[in-house]
Amino acid sequence: MITSRLNDSEPILNLKDLFYDEEVKEELKAKINHLPEKSKRSNYKLLQEIQMVLQRCTHLTEKQRLMYCESQRYFMKQYLREMNKQP
């Protein structure tokens, strides 16, 4: 929204508010475009951590191992979906 601040002590310096919306829009576009890359890295990191738990934790019961494997499978699917979306 554009507002006039002629009553301010320095109205010319307040013109930067007119261009603020454009900067915000560009910043938001950049962040939105960066989200898929961030989610890929997050999914991959989770996959590595789950794999490490499965390999190193010998005290896990069969049921716990199954739960870790199921979560690993879920994050692998998410990761592969993101990889397949790449142009």
Q: What is the pLDDT of residues 5-37, one digit of tens each?
A: 555 555 555 555 555 556 666 776 676 666 667
56 band by pLDDT with thresholds 50, 70 and 90: very high
CA 64 – CA 45 distance, rounded (Å): 20
Q: Using CA atoms, how far apart are residues 39 and 25, in angstroms rounded to an integer?
A: 22
37 vs 50: CA distance, rounded Å: 20
pLDDT (mean) for 56-79:
90
- Domain membership of residue 4 (yes or no) is no
Per-residue pLDDT, 1 = 46
Work out the average pLDDT over 49-72.
91
Nearest to 83 by CA among 45, 47, 30, 39: 39
pTM, entire model: 0.55
Is residue 62 included in any domain, yes or no?
yes
Domain membership flag for residue 3: no
Domain count, the chain: 1
* Cβ 85 vs Cβ 36: under 8 Å: yes
The domain in which residue 32 lies consists of 13-84
